């Protein structure tokens, strides 16, 4: 993925962009309307927020990549005449609420519950000044890995340097308005202790959730009772001596920075509404936004930084490309999706299918093609002679975990195709070997054929012997179908064959995969035979019949 935006915005592209239906363009048009109604600031600001209370997860990546897609669509629609910036803001001054279960040395963190994340020692090593700093570094590392154009911002830096002081004083001046916005949404017990300001205890250093017993706009202070000593303490709201409750904090940040656009998960819709009201009370204008659905793990549970469930960035990139991950983020952002290993192969093949289609499309369709958004208007010209799903089947059937062996099959199937001429395919071979070894191989389960299946396989064995060893996938697929149409078990009377008889049931190919490959399904089997080899496939059949 590219960090810069395309500078070549031709008239045909611009016309197509104005009519594009894809969601990034729909979002970009909202920002343009906002810009035209406002005082037209020099720069349009995009923001993505991150809470470093746990390791950065794939959802954080999703928010950044999606925001960048909207930003690029805005760039095209405005012909690059309006400057934009993306701020990745880390709420690292938040208090540690609980110890994550996916970090080392958990026991050492317990005593720091309530401390700002930038005051909690780094449990990983001595490489960083704090837990917050370590997680911030991880966030920046994976954003840099994808060449995102962004600016990193730390809540601790902004609070302690005074960059938020002006708006914090506005929050103090609007204290009663803010309380009237928030209190009706809270339960009785929480209302009794709520304040938009959380003082940082001078005694324990903790971020305190305590009632504010007085506030003084002229002095710029709040007064509270210190839990440890029962002492009445008056403290300034500036200079990093307090932190705002997160809904108030969000609104304060929007106002202070002048944020124009920020996405949020569907679970935060009510929070966005409340923060928007607070933003207006502070004299700011709430940003445009987009509510995306949440990512779920294999059990259907929301992925969490502290639990470490679901798929991580590093895990996806072990088994699939960055582009396939970006495609997954682009597709149906308002639909809840499982984020687990079995989605990776489909995403890889989906990416290359979109890439192949792009070169044949007109601008109208190109701008609604995911790869245009993934590559910021400059998709590469790449054609794959073999799909990733086919590579997985090849590894599975051959049990070959050596790249040279797999490339032997590939070059026999597609002449003049080499690792040097097709580096993308070579990269997919690595992914296929790794994916097979970790997820397919442990679950392979061959089953014994019954009498009808054994008879069918014998016919297939003889039928394949009649084919030319260079037969293409279509010829082989038709030969397989000819066999199945004559066997009652595999006839599908809801379908009609070219000869007018019954079609072929999907159970026919499921049988082949279960008995020959040890899997329940796979890509088009005729294409697989063309890749693997006719005689090699006959060997699979004979081994199955001999119960090897």
Query: How far apart are alpha carbons 452 and 416 in whole angstroms?
Result: 42
> What are 182-210's pLDDT values in tens digits?
999 999 999 999 999 999 999 999 999 99
Higher pLDDT, 51 or 287: 287
| Residue 220, φ and ψ in degrees, nearest 5 | 70, 40
- Mean predicted confidence (pLDDT) in 508-534: 90
* Nearest alpha-carbon partner for 214 in 176, 166, 159: 176
pLDDT of amino acid 2:
42
> Can you give the pLDDT at residue 18?
93
Q: What is the pLDDT of residue 548?
A: 56
- Tell me how far apart the alpha carbons of residues 395 and 386 are, in angstroms, rounded to a whole number: 13
Whether 323 has a pLDDT exceeding 90, the answer reads yes
Q: List the structure tokens of 190.
A: 């929480």
7, pLDDT greater than 80: no
pLDDT digits (tens, 9 = 90+) for 457-487: 999 999 999 998 888 999 999 999 999 999 9
Q: Which residues contact 447 (CB under 8 A, 6 or more apart)?
A: 514, 515
* Average pLDDT rounded to a whole number, residues 298-314: 67
- What pLDDT digit, counting tens, does each position of 292-305 carry? 988 877 676 776 65
Which H/E stretch holds residue 98?
none
pLDDT in tens, 440-454: 888 888 899 999 999
Q: What is the mean pLDDT of residues 213-235?
A: 97
User: Average pLDDT of 232-240?
Assistant: 97
Task: Could you list the beta-strand ranges (E) of 37-189.
Answer: 43-50, 83-90, 151-154
The radius of gyration of the chain's CA atoms, rounded to the nearest angstrom, is 29
Burial group, residue 432, by CB count within 10 angstroms (0-12, 13-18, 19+): buried
Please provide the average confidence, as pLDDT, over all residues in the chain.
Answer: 91
Contact by Cβ (8 Å): 305, 53? yes
Q: What is the C-alpha to C-alpha distance for residues 43 and 48, in angstroms, rounded to an integer? A: 16
pLDDT at 338: 82
Residue 65 predicted with pLDDT over 80: yes
Whether residue 3 has pLDDT greater than 60: no
Q: What is the pLDDT of residue 308?
A: 56
Residue 548 buriedness (CB in 10 A; 0-12 / 13-18 / 19+): exposed
| Spatial contact of 379 and 385, defined as CB atoms under 8 Å apart | no
SS3 154: strand
Which pLDDT score, from 0 to 100, does residue 313 have? 81
The packing angle between helices 451-465 and 534-545, to 10°, is 150
> What integer pLDDT is reported at residue 4 of this predicted model?
60
Q: pLDDT digits over 243-288, tens only?
A: 999 999 999 999 999 999 999 999 999 999 999 999 999 999 999 9
What pTM, to 2 d.p., does this model score? Answer: 0.89
Q: 292 pairs with which residues across the strands?
A: 265
pLDDT digits (tens, 9 = 90+) for 409-425: 898 888 889 999 999 99
Question: Whole-angstrom Cα distance, residue 145 to residue 81?
Answer: 28
- What pLDDT does residue 423 have? 94
pLDDT above 80 (res 374): yes
CA 286, CA 269: separation in Å to the nearest integer? 13
Residue 93: both structure tokens together: 């001054």
Both tokens of 60, joined, read 């954080």
| Residue-level pLDDT at 499 | 84
Q: Count how many residues are written for the chain.
A: 548
Judged by phi (left if over 0) then psi (alpha if -120 to 50, else beta), residue 516 lies in alpha
Q: Which residues pair with 420 in a beta bridge?
A: none
Q: How are beta strands 288-292 and 83-90 bridged, if at all?
A: unpaired
Pairing of strands 242-244, 197-199: antiparallel
Any idea what DSSP says for residue 45?
E
pLDDT score at 71: 97
Position 1 pLDDT exceeds 60: no
């Amino acid at each position: 993925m590219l960090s810069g935006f395309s500078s070549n915005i031709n008239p045909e592209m611009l016309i197509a962009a104005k009519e594009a239906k894809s969601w990034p363009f729909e979002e970009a048009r909202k920002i343009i309307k906002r810009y035209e109604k406002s005082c037209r600031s020099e720069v349009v600001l995009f923001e993505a927020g991150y809470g470093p209370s746990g390791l950065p997860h794939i959802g954080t990546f999703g928010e950044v990549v999606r925001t960048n897609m909207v930003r690029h669509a805005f760039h095209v629609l405005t012909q690059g005449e309006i400057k934009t910036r993306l701020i990745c803001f880390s709420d690292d001054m938040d208090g540690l609420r609980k110890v994550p279960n996916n970090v080392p040395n958990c026991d050492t963190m317990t005593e720091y519950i309530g401390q700002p994340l930038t005051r909690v020692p780094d449990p990983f090593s001595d490489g960083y000044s704090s837990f917050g700093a370590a997680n911030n570094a991880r966030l920046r590392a994976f954003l840099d890995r994808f060449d995102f154009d962004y600016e990193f911002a730390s809540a601790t830096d902004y609070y302690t340097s005074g960059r938020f002081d002006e708006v914090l004083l506005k929050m103090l001046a609007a204290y009663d308005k803010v309380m009237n916005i928030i209190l009706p949404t809270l339960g009785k017990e929480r209302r009794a202790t709520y304040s938009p300001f959380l003082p940082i205890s001078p005694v324990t250093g903790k971020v305190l959730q305590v009632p504010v017993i007085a506030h003084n706009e002229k002095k710029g202070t709040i007064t509270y009772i210190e839990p440890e000593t029962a002492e009445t303490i008056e403290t300034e709201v500036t200079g990093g001596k307090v932190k705002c409750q997160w809904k108030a904090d969000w609104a304060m940040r929007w106002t202070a920075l002048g944020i124009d656009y920020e996405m949020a998960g569907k679970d935060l819709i009510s929070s966005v509404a409340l923060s928007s009201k607070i933003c207006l009370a502070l004299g700011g204008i709430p940003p445009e936004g987009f509510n995306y659905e949440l990512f779920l793990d294999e059990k259907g549970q929301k992925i969490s930084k502290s639990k470490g469930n679901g798929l991580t960035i590093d895990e996806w990139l072990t088994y699939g490309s960055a582009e396939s991950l970006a495609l997954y983020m682009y597709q149906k952002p308002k639909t809840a999706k499982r984020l687990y290993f079995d989605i990776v192969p489909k995403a890889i093949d989906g990416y290359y299918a979109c890439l192949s289609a792009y070169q044949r499309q007109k601008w109208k369709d190109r701008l609604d093609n995911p790869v245009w958004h993934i590559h910021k208007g400059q998709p590469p010209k790449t054609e794959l002679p073999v799909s990733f799903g086919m590579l997985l089947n090849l590894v599975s059937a051959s049990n070959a975990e050596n790249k040279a062996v797999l490339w032997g099959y590939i070059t026999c199937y597609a002449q003049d195709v080499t690792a040097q001429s097709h580096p993308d395919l070579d990269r997919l071979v690595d992914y296929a070997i790794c994916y097979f070894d970790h997820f397919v191989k442990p679950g392979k389960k061959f089953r014994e054929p019954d009498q009808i299946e054994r008879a069918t396989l014998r016919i297939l064995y003889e039928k394949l012997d009649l084919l030319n060893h260079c037969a293409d996938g279509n010829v082989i697929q038709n030969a397989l179908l000819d066999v199945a149409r004559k066997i009652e078990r595999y006839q599908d009377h809801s379908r009609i064959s070219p000869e007018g008889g019954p079609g072929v049931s999907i159970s026919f190919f499921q049988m082949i995969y279960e008995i020959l490959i040890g899997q329940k399904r796979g890509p088009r089997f005729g294409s697989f035979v063309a890749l693997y080899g006719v005689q090699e496939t006959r060997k699979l059949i004979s081994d199955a019949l001999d119960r090897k």
